[in-house]
Structure 1
Amino acid sequence: MSVDKVDKKLLGPVLAGFFIMGFCDMVAPITGRIAAEFPAERQAAVSFLPTMVFLWFLVLSTPVAALMNRWGRKATALVGYGFTVVGLMVPFAAGADCALGWYFAGFGLLGIGNTAIQVAVNPLLATIVPGERMTSYLTVGQIFRNTSLLLLAPIVTGLVALTGSWRLLLPIYAGLTVLGGVWLQLTAVPEPAQTGRAASLADCFRLLKNRAVLLSTLGVASFIAADVGIGFLSVRLIDNPSSILTTTGFYACRIVGTLIGAWALVRISDVKYLSWNMAGALALCVALLFVRNEAAIYAAVGLLGFGMACVFATFYAVATKAVPGKANEVAGLMIMAIAAGAVSGPVCGAIIRASGNPHLGMLFVAACVGYMLWASVKLKMKN
């Protein structure tokens, strides 16, 4: 099935899916708020909360993709919305002084829902835009997702000022998810005829024999791990209640970086642009190990957001071009690689507890960025 032009009536509810997709990424920065509710001996357990979200990408991405062949893309997205609403409401309904287990249960359901949304919404977009414009509209989708994350800190700050607690964020996000689901349900989105079979786990892993695919898949895993790590650490680098505003700067600069990257990548080799950005990002990670000035931290975290803007799209494109005709298998690998975000909270939390210095957690982010720089250089030499 192919389309000649974009139907704006169909585009709105699908792009809303990218906005809702960003809700799972609030877990890493909000973990700092949750940690304040529990004693010191529970902090190690609290650091595993982001793991409960990202673990499901490894476990469920391929089964959900297979089920989507029977359910359809729209229905799969709606199932994901349902899990998202329940996951957000479980810890809220449990109350302000609820046990940590309620957060684990809720964020686990949130991760399951987000896996289904990510599996469904990207190909759903492909059914309503022309193939030659797919990359540009995927970029637009990422802007919607980053906007969702950009609004997190202002919403939390406003809620704390008005109510003394951040927890109303959960029903607000749940309500927005319901609205997005109703909008999508009421929109007749065309579904492609299902042909062939779903990509299996074995089909996906066979592609790792291709060096470019292997480097790119590990690149996406490193990107997600670094991204979650920055979200986990940024609110801890500044010791005051407004520290969550570092996430606003990070995602605002990422949106700017996405727009500039979309312009630059038409004119510059994608892996060359990636290597430049990763070299700058690595320098910023090293700087954040030592910088203590609040303004400098805000600036460095924001510039990191700019540098990380086009990483996923570049690695995805390189892997797809390396194995033409295997787009489904490449997509399966990329979705599974998102599970790397599960390690960030525990690793960064362990470094902070061992050293007593949150800045040293940037060593983990620097290692991830260092790999991406090395991979981009190798891919540039190969090209």
Structure 2
Amino acid sequence: MENTNNITSTKRTILPILFGFFVMGFVDVVGIATNYVKKDFALSDSLANLLPMMVFLWFALFSIPTGICMGRHGRKNVVVVSILITAIAMLIPMFFYDFVMILIAFALLGIGNTILQVSLNPMVAQTVVQSKVTSVLTLGQFIKAISSFLGPIIAGIAASWFGDWKLIFIAYSIISIISIIWLLLAVKGSKQGMGEEASFVSTLKLMKNKKIFMLFLGILCLVGIDVGLNTTIPKLLMERLELPLQEAGLGTSLYFAARTIGTFVGAILLAKIASRSFFKISMVLAIISFTGLMLFNGMWLMCSMIVLVGLSLSNIFSIIFSLALEYKPSQSNEISALMIMGVSGGALIPPLMGVLNDSFGLMASLLLLLVCMFYIGFVALNSK
């Protein structure tokens, strides 16, 4: 009877924590939002791509401080604060819609998401038994992918049916508040998850290790690709197929739908296939399909390539992350903070793409993503 009660208690606790992964997916709204903001304010690509930079810059600045803060104040409190910041960020565009306020809103979204990503994964590990941690974290990524997939659809419906794409932010803010209330009611202990602190010095020292640095750059390139595709797929479909933004934005949803399916299928395959072999096969498929996306015309061919790219990249983050943890298990706190710092690639790659697009055209910006894919392929070949 006691064991049954423990299982029931764990389920009640893990559900609101998993719902936090849905809130985590809100950050990917920056892709479709960049296209709407560019259109609304007649921005150049260089200026429009400041939005992804404002979101992902904070992963470089806040990852290690969040790791330290968790040890002092507890994971639950840190998660609640991160979701509260997200809720506030989502309200700003509804009341103050100009380019500067949009930059501020997305900066807050980036800060909240950084804190959430660093703190939520260890909170899962604290809640479930060790043998279930990997599967539950994979489920969390699946939930996050569903959220990312729904974002462009909600924005498109808001624009087409209600004449205002920004209504998506009201929905996101309400969901964030529900998540906070659920966490506060269901998760006991205000300082859950206190433990060993990662320090600035111990984390940054890991950069001197060649393998850790290689994996860090792999995460940086991967997130840059993800955000770059998020913002570029609608532009590519509009340019090649002459689609309106509302329809072209669904290309991003197609990409995230493929990632959602890929995460689910990958969780099954990775239980049977060695992660290193899976890594290599995935990157070969990613490079071939992305090259096809750059070269092909036609709705079905382009959509097929978008799906293949999404499928092949869907599990790379978790593979690289696990390779880093396997290499230095005694420094898991520092490794986790460092790998999340690599998410700042979403602030680095898209602005460079914007400059290349303004100077040389869309194909030049896509070539940058292809270079990043070749680097991750190099990481896959050297993952021993």
Fold shared per TM-score above 0.5 = yes
CA displacement at 1:69 relative to structure 2: 1.5
**Counterpart for residue 323 of structure 1:** 328
String of CA shifts for 1:165-219, please: whole Å, max 9, x gaps. 21101111111111111111111345556344x1112211222343332222111
Please identify, of 309-318 and 5-14, the stretch whose mean Cα deviation from structure 2 is larger. 5-14
Q: Is the 8 A contact 2:64 2:338 kept in 1?
A: no
**Counterpart for residue 72 of structure 1:** 74
**Counterpart for residue 10 of structure 1:** 13
Matched to 2:235, the amino acid is R
Matched to 1:45, the amino acid is L
Q: Is the 8 A contact 1:237 1:297 kept in 2?
A: no
**Counterpart for residue 245 of structure 1:** 250
**Counterpart for residue 99 of structure 1:** 98
1:272 aligns with 2:277: yes
1:373 aligns with 2:377: yes
Distance 1:57 1:195 in 2: 22
Q: 1:25 aligns with which of 22, 25, 28?
A: 28
Distance 1:194 1:9 in 2: 21
Distance 1:298 1:254 in 2: 14
**Structure 1 gap segments, 5+ residues each:** none
Matched to 2:20, the amino acid is G
**Counterpart for residue 204 of structure 1:** 203
Give the secondary structure class of the aligned counterpart of 1:166.
coil
CA displacement at 1:43 relative to structure 2: 4.2
CA displacement at 1:164 relative to structure 2: 1.8
Distance 2:231 2:344 in 1: 16
Give the secondary structure class of the aligned counterpart of 1:235.
helix
CA displacement at 1:113 relative to structure 2: 0.9
Give the secondary structure class of the aligned counterpart of 1:266.
coil
Q: 2:352 aligns with which of 347, 351, 360?
A: 347
Aligned residues between the structures: 371
Distance 1:9 1:346, change over 3 A: same
1:309 aligns with 2:308: no
Distance 1:289 1:43 in 2: 19
CA displacement at 1:5 relative to structure 2: 5.3
Return the TM-score normalized by structure 2. 0.93
Distance 1:254 1:121 in 2: 21
**Counterpart for residue 61 of structure 1:** 63
Matched to 2:66, the amino acid is V
Matched to 2:341, the amino acid is M
Give the secondary structure class of the aligned counterpart of 1:194.
coil
Matched to 1:364, the amino acid is L
Q: Is the 8 A contact 1:246 1:302 kept in 2?
A: no
Distance 2:152 2:328 in 1: 40
**Counterpart for residue 226 of structure 1:** 225
Matched to 1:149, the amino acid is S
CA displacement at 1:338 relative to structure 2: 0.6
Distance 1:193 1:319, change over 3 A: closer
More helix per residue: 2
Matched to 2:143, the amino acid is F
Give the CA RMSD over aligned residues: 1.6
CA displacement at 1:322 relative to structure 2: 0.7
Q: Is the 8 A contact 2:76 2:192 kept in 1?
A: no
Give the secondary structure class of the aligned counterpart of 2:329.
coil
Q: Is the 8 A contact 2:255 2:306 kept in 1?
A: yes
Distance 2:12 2:149 in 1: 25
Distance 2:356 2:32 in 1: 17
String of CA shifts for 1:141-176, please: whole Å, max 9, x gaps. 000000001111221221112112211011111111
Percent identity of paired positions between Structure 1 and Structure 2: 28
Q: Is the 8 A contact 1:29 1:234 kept in 2?
A: no
CA displacement at 1:272 relative to structure 2: 1.3
Matched to 1:373, the amino acid is G
Q: Is the 8 A contact 1:81 1:181 kept in 2?
A: yes
Return the TM-score normalized by structure 1. 0.93
Distance 1:312 1:43 in 2: 27
Give the secondary structure class of the aligned counterpart of 1:86.
helix
Distance 1:183 1:194, change over 3 A: closer
Q: Is the 8 A contact 1:285 1:362 kept in 2?
A: no
Matched to 2:138, the amino acid is T
**Counterpart for residue 122 of structure 1:** 121
String of CA shifts for 1:239-262, please: whole Å, max 9, x gaps. 123011112211111122112212
Matched to 2:141, the amino acid is Q
Give the secondary structure class of the aligned counterpart of 1:289.
helix
